[in-house]
Copies of this chain bind each other. A is one copy, B any other.
C-alpha cells in the first residue's frame, strides 16, 4: 500500500527576510518533498501588513515576488484567513513569519476552525499567559498542531529536543543558553580582542547588521527573555516576561535617551564599567557571556551576564553563535549541548520548514 499524498495549504503571514527565504526554500524543494515526504505544499495566500495575494490552487513560488508586486490587493487579515480556510482539500496552516503582536491573536480562532499554526514569531509563546493558554487548550480540543522550532535558536533542534525529553519522561532540571546572536557576537568579540571597547563592538555589530536599528533592543536582553519564556512554558512553568529578571547591557542613564545617534554617541562614556568587568574576568581566566536560564526546580528564570571559565562550552563559542545546555536526570552530570548559528534567514526559514514537514508527517494530517 503506497502512502497517500498529504496536501498542505499554507497561509504565509510576513513575506519579509525569513518568510521570503522560506518561500524560496519550498519552491526549490517541492518536488523532493512530494516524492520523499509525500507532501504537496501549496501556498494559498501571502500577506504583509499592507498587501496580500490569494490563490485557490497555490501561488507559483518561483515568481511570487512579481505576482505580489503586480497582483496584490490591500491586506485584510480576516479575508486572508477566510480564503485559506475556505480552500477545500487541504490541511490549513497559518505560517507566522512576523514579529507582530497582532498576528498571534488570530491563532486561537484559526485553530478552533480546524487550522494548524507554525510560527517563527515569539509573541505568542512569550506573550500574555492567558492568550498562550487559550491557544494551547484549543490545540488539545481540536487535535491541532502548533509548532515553533524557529522561535529559539532558529533552525537548531532546541524545541524538538526539549519535547523529546519531556515526552519520554526525562526530568528537565535546568536549561541555560546563549540565545542572542547579537549579544553573543558582542561578548565573544570583547573576550577575543582585549583592548577593544564595548562601544566600539556595539558600533561594529550595528554596522554588520547584527543589531536591531536601535541596538538597545538587543542590549536590553528583551529578546533573550522571550526565548527563555518559550522554553520555560514548554517545561510547564506558568511564567511571563515580566517575571524574568534581566540584566540589561544598556547603561541606566541611556535607557531614556531618545535618538539612537545620541545613545551611540554617549555609550563610550560607560566603557570603563564593562572594561573593569572584562579585566577581572580575564584575570581569573574567565569570559563574560549573556545567558538565559530556566531553572525548573526553582520554577524561576533569569537573564544575566555571567562569568564562565575558559573550559566551559559557553566560553568556546565565536561569532554570533547560540548555545544551549540541557541538564536533565538523564543528561547529568554530562549535559546535552547544542551549538550553532541561532539567527539568519536560511537557518530560521529551515526551522519553519522542518515544522511544516513535521506537520505533514503527523497523524493529524491524513486527508
Contact = CB atoms under 8 A, between A and B. Distances in A.
Given A33-B167, A362-B361, A2 B141 contact: yes
Interface stretch (A119-127, A158-166, A216-224, A281-289): A158-166
Interface stretch (A260-268, A299-307, A328-336): A328-336
Contacts of A161: 157
Where chain A touches its partner, the secondary structure class is mixed
A257 interface: no
A131 interface: no
Contact of A316 (B37, B169, B313, B329): B313
Interface residues of A, number: 57
A331 B353 contact: no
A245 interface: no
A114 B178 CA distance: 45
B350 A165 contact: yes
Interface string A319-345: 111000000011100111111110000
Contacts of A311: 316
Nearest to A367: B363
Contacts of A335: 340
Nearest to A35: B140
B363 A347 contact: no
A364 to B, nearest CB: 7
A354 B164 contact: yes
Number of copies: 2
A362 B38 CA distance: 12
B319 A334 contact: yes
B363 A168 contact: no
Contacts of A170: 350
Interface in A34-60: 36-38
A143 interface: yes
A366 interface: yes
B339 A336 contact: yes
B169 A29 contact: yes
A231 to B, nearest CB: 16
Nearest to A6: B363
A161 B347 CA distance: 13
Contacts of A157: 157, 160-161, 164, 338
A156 interface: yes
A175 to B, nearest CB: 14
Nearest to A165: B350
Given A33-B167, A330-B347, A363-B6, A1 B337 contact: no
A29 B240 CA distance: 28
Interface in A202-223: none
A333 to B, nearest CB: 8
A104 interface: no
A168 B1 contact: no
A259 interface: no
6 contacts: A3-B364, A32-B167, A38-B143, A164-B357, A167-B357, A337-B339
User: Which are the 3 A-B pairs with shortest beta-carbon distances?
Assistant: A3-B143, A29-B169, A336-B340
Interface of A: 1-3, 6, 25, 28-29, 32-33, 36-38, 141-143, 155-157, 160-161, 164-165, 167-170, 311, 313, 316, 318-321, 329-331, 334-341, 346-347, 350, 353-354, 357, 360-366
Given A33-B167, A37-B167, 10 more contacts: A3-B143, A29-B168, A156-B336, A157-B161, A170-B350, A334-B341, A338-B339, A361-B361, A361-B362, A361-B363
